[in-house]
A and B are shown apart, each in its own frame.
Chain A
Amino acid sequence: MNAFVDPVGMAGHSGLTKGEVLLRVDNVSLSFGGVKAITNISFDILKGEVRAIIGPNGAGKTSMLNVINGFYHPQEGTITWRGQVRRKMRPYEAASHGIARTFQNVALFKGMTTLDNIMTGRGLKMNKNFFWQCLHWGPALNEEIEHRRKVEEIIDFLEIQAIRKTPVGRLPYGLQKRVELARALAMEPELLLLDEPMAGMNLEEKEDMSRFILDVNQQFGTTIALIEHDMGVVMDLSDRVVVLDYGRKIADGPPEEVQSNQDVIDAYLGVPH
Chain B
Amino acid sequence: MFYREAGQYKTSYAADQQIFPIRQDRIGIAVILVIALLLPLAASEFMLSAIAIPFLVLALATIGLNILTGYAGQLSLGTGAFMGVGAYSCYKLVTIFPEVNVIVHILLSGTFAAAAGVVFGLPSLRIKGLYLAVTTLAAQFFLEWCFIRIPWLYNYNSSGAIEVPGREVFGTLITGPAASGTARYYVVLAIVVVMTLLIKNLIRGRVGRQWMMIRDMDIAAELMGVRPLIAKLSAFAVSSYVCGVAGAMFVFFYLGASEPAVFSITLSFQVLFMAIIGGLGSLVGSFFGAAFIWILPILLRVGLPALGVDVAAETVFQVAQMVIGALIIFFLIVEPHGLARLWAIGKEKLRVWPFPYA
Contacts and interface: CB of A to CB of B under 8 A. Distances in A.
A and B, direct touch (CB closer than 8 Å): yes
B355 interface: no
Q: Report the contact-size class of chain B (Cβ under 8 Å from the partner).
A: 20 to 34
B224 A123 contact: yes
Nearest to A95: B225
A43 interface: no
A116 B224 contact: no
Interface in A141-161: 141, 144-145, 148-149, 152
A69 B209 contact: no
A101 B225 CA distance: 11
Interface stretch (A31-39, A129-137, A247-255, A260-268): A129-137
Interface residues of A, number: 39
Contacts of B206: 123, 126, 128, 133, 144
Please indicate which of the listed interface residues A71, A108, A134, A148 has the most CB atoms of chain B within 10 Å of its own CB.
Answer: A134
B226 interface: yes
A119 B209 CA distance: 8
Contacts of A100: 224
A124 B204 CA distance: 16
B198 A135 contact: yes
A112 B222 CA distance: 17
B23 interface: no
Interface string A72-108: 0000000000000000001110111000110100011
Contact of B224 (A112, A121, A144, A145): A121
B13 A145 contact: yes
B202 A133 contact: yes
B13 A116 contact: no
Contacts of A107: 217, 219-220
Given A133-B206, A135-B201, A145-B14, A92 B227 contact: yes
A69 B223 contact: yes
A119 B204 CA distance: 11
Contact of A187 (B12, B13, B224): B224
A103 B212 contact: no
Given A69-B223, A121-B224, A136-B204, A109 B13 contact: no
Given A107-B220, A111-B281, A123 B201 contact: no
Contact of B201 (A95, A126, A134): A134
B349 interface: no
A91 B212 contact: no
A120 interface: yes
A211 interface: no
A140 interface: yes
Nearest to A111: B216
B201 A148 contact: no
Nearest to B234: A130
A149 B13 contact: yes
Contacts of B199: 134
Contact of A130 (B207, B215, B217, B222): B207
17 contacts: A69-B223, A92-B222, A95-B223, A100-B224, A108-B216, A108-B220, A109-B213, A109-B220, A110-B217, A111-B215, A111-B281, A120-B210, A123-B210, A123-B213, A133-B202, A133-B205, A136-B201
Interface of A: 69, 71, 90-92, 94-96, 100-101, 103, 107-112, 116, 119-121, 123-124, 126, 128, 130, 133-136, 140-141, 144-145, 148-149, 152, 183, 187
In order of increasing CB-CB distance, the 3 nearest A-B pairs are A95-B225, A136-B201, A109-B216
